[in-house]
Structure formats: structure tokens, C-alpha cells
Structure 1
């Protein structure tokens, strides 16, 4: 039997791989290897020089390339801000493109979880109207950090209190420059990913409203396989088993 693809998980702003622990454990139990690393823009000592492009290159160098060098098939799962650097990191690494170049392995599909779909040369800041939401705390420009306020209400509103408190304790400061710099050319626009794009739409989301998620998909100009979740911004915490089922269904389809 062929081995299952590796599920590469890219966290969103202020998040770390620890927020994916429950999801990763369930995926591992189903036979899916997982890979995830904290983005350089999270809890960085140099926030004013940390960029979206830097996050993208880190994902390529530290997460994806070690897997493709080993000939692994990959499902790339990105959350929230992670859709911007993650989408760019996928550029040129689709299984179709690598096969055409005589290389093994590659990304067989992309799954966006309430994530930003950032076109080339567009920043997250631009996608949110050129201003930070009132729940985003901004340090002085010289400090260069952002941090979320009202985390239970905004990020974890359907997560049980005990679990939400653990998640809140793991949230870290984030580079303001990273969310304000432009993304590089995204992989999702490439022919190799068409028919292999899925979006987990979160209907109770107080961070990225469902209508905003719809606009992101519509403005991308490509077709997304939409999976409707009646959850907050964090279904990997509130409904990890359902998310595993979605990932499993898509991974099996894309592996054919």
C-alpha cells in the first residue's frame, strides 16, 4: 500500500505548531505524518525586518524542501495569515510541476482554513482594508509587534473554556511588518493546483468574517472546493475530528 501524504501545517498570526497538537495527533493516528514549524514572524527578536516573504522562504526551506527532497507527497494546510506566506511557498512545488521536471514528490493539494488568499504583491494589511482591526493591539512603531485582544471572543469563541485558556496561553506576539509586506506570487494560481484547492469556511468566525472569506475566494479568480464549518476561526481546536475527516477525504482524492 502506498504511504499517505505528509500533512504540512502552517499556523496563522500569533499561533505556533502547538495550536495544532490535537489535530496532528489525530492525523498521526490515521497514518498521516505531519510537519509544522513556528514562523519567523512569530515571537521574533527582529520584528521590523521580518517579512511575509521571509516567512514564505522559511516554509520552503524548513518545511517543504526536506519533504520533497525525500520524495514525499504533501498536502499543505494553511490557517489565517498562513495563507499568505504558505500560498507563495507552494509556488513551483506542485506534484504536477515536479513530475514534469522529472522529480519525485510535491504538493498534491492546498487546504485553506479560514485563511487569507493573497494575490501577488498584496499584503494582509491591504486585504483587510489598510487598517488593523480594533481587536489587534499595536505596540509603538519602534517596537514593531501586534497582539490580539479579546482572544476567546475573536479566535476561540466556540472552543470550550478550559481548552481555550490553554490555547490563549500559547499565543505569541507577531511582527507588524510581516502582515504589512506584500506576498510573493502564489502557487494556487498555477495550473498544477487547479482542482486541488479546498477552503474550510468558518461560519461563526469573528476574526475573518464569512463574507470576507467568500470575497477572498471570489477575488482569487480560481475555483475552491468549499467545506462549510459552523465553527469559530479555530476548528482545529473545536472540531479537530471533523477537520481530520475533511483532510483525509481530500488527501485520498488528490492521491488518485
Structure 2
């Protein structure tokens, strides 16, 4: 299996992927989880690009939520996986595609410095409502403040037009409307739909690990003409 790069979304940290990363590493897969929160989409993309460039072969690159905008601008991936994520086309941003659901907007609070954060009491229901309580509580505790503007960033390129891609629709999602997810998923040749909430890497990491282990990369012939 190719190396895997896991790209988190807004308010999240690399540690949110700990359960998934442990499963993949136990199976012998190299896993890299870059830290975002660099202040802009372009800076976040550069951080992931550096992680991809440091690997010996084209990796599987998974983006969750806002992380989809990030991986859309990355070069050199062997396969892109959009997990309840944004798939922007030329000139599009996550915010322009529809952005946060009403429930998610109601869970976001503004800080005096212009940043925003998730209200701890509302984050569980919106992000981790289908996760076991101890895992959901840990995930909420890891959430961090978010600088403004990242969701309005527009990727400089659209890698999903040139690289094999898979979209995973999370049908019970309360953060990004599944209707919007299905619309964005039409841009990917391979689409899966899971009956999960927004963050299956917290509650069901084995589901994602199994998917990644079955996917081809650009080195493998497939319906994309590679």
C-alpha cells in the first residue's frame, strides 16, 4: 500500500487522526499527518505539499472537510480521497460552495482577535454525534481556534481533474449538508456513501482504513487512464 497523507479540517488537529493513523501504521503503512492552521489556504496547501514531496512515491492523500480544499491544490498525489470534504473547481472556495450547515454555524463563536472556535457543548452533536462518548469527548477537547478566511481561499489548481479520486459521502453529517456532498461527489469517478456523521475517523477509523487499503494509486492502471 502507498504511503498515506491525512489532512484535517478547520478547528481540528493532527491528533484527531490518531486512531486511524495507528491502524494504518500497524498494517505497515507510512502515515504523515501535517499540521494546518497556517493562516491561509495557500499556506495550508504548501504545508501538505511539503509532506507529499518528502515521500518516495505518490501517496494516497485524504482530506476531511476543509481539508478537501487543501488537497485539491496539491501536486504529486497518487489518489485523492475526499471525506465529507469540499471539492472546489476553478474559482471556487469552500464558503462559495455552500460552506457550513446551519447547525455548524450555530456552534461557532467569535473571539475578540477575529478568530473563531467551536462551542464545546455544541461540537459533539455537530461533529461527533455518532461517536462513542469517550472518543467524542476527547475529540472536542482537541479542537482549537481557527484564524479567519481559510474557508474563502480558492485553490490554485484542481488536482481531482488529473488524479484518481474517491468521494466519501457521510449521509448523517450535521456539519456539511449531505445534499451538497453528493453534488461535489459528482466530480469524482469513485463515490461511496456511509451512514456516518461528519467525523468517522473518530468513531469508526477501521472503516476508513479498509477503504484506503483497497484504493489504487496512480501507479495502478484504472478507469482514469493511468
Scaled by the length of structure 1, the TM-score of the pair is 0.79
Provide structure 2 residue ranges, at least 5 long, that are not aligned to the other structure: 222-226
SS in 1 for 2:9: coil
Corresponding residue for 1:53?
Answer: 42
Deviation at 1:12, TM superposition (A): 0.7
Equivalences for residues 182-193 of structure 1 within 5 A: 182-190=154-162, 193=163
Q: If you compute each CA radius of gyration, which structure gives the higher value, 1 or 2?
A: 1
Any idea what the Cα deviations from partners look like across 1:99-128, whole Å, max 9, x if unmatched?
A: xxxxxxxx2211111001112332222122
1: CA distance, partners of 2:80 / 2:35:
19
2: CA distance, partners of 1:72 / 1:181:
28
Whether the 8 Å CA contact 1:75–1:109 is kept in 2: the answer is yes
Any idea what the Cα deviations from partners look like across 1:55-110, whole Å, max 9, x if unmatched?
A: 1112112x11111xxx32300111000000111023xx2xxxxxxxxxxxxx2211
SS in 1 for 2:78: strand
Q: 1:177 aligns with which of 135, 146, 149?
A: 149
SS in 1 for 2:79: strand
Deviation at 1:187, TM superposition (A): 0.7
Corresponding residue for 2:16?
Answer: 19
Corresponding residue for 1:128?
Answer: 98
Whether the 8 Å CA contact 1:125–1:131 is kept in 2: the answer is no
Whether the 8 Å CA contact 1:109–1:254 is kept in 2: the answer is no
Equivalences for residues 199-210 of structure 1 within 5 A: 199-210=167-178
Aligned length: 217
Scaled by the length of structure 2, the TM-score of the pair is 0.88
1: CA distance, partners of 2:153 / 2:161:
20
Describe the shift of the 1:180–1:75 C-alpha distance in structure 2 as closer, same or farther (beyond 3 A).
same
Whether the 8 Å CA contact 1:74–1:108 is kept in 2: the answer is yes
Q: CA RMSD in A?
A: 2.1
1: CA distance, partners of 2:133 / 2:80:
31
Matched, 1:240 2:225: no
SS in 2 for 1:73: coil
Equivalences for residues 103-252 of structure 1 within 5 A: 107-128=77-98, 133-140=105-112, 143-149=113-119, 150-190=122-162, 193=163, 196-218=164-186, 222-251=187-216
SS in 2 for 1:15: coil
Q: 2:32 aligns with which of 20, 31, 35?
A: 35
Provide structure 1 residue ranges, at least 5 long, that are not aligned to the other structure: 42-49, 94-106
Deviation at 1:234, TM superposition (A): 0.6
Describe the shift of the 1:58–1:210 C-alpha distance in structure 2 as closer, same or farther (beyond 3 A).
same
2: CA distance, partners of 1:239 / 1:158:
9
Describe the shift of the 1:139–1:32 C-alpha distance in structure 2 as closer, same or farther (beyond 3 A).
same
Deviation at 1:138, TM superposition (A): 2.5
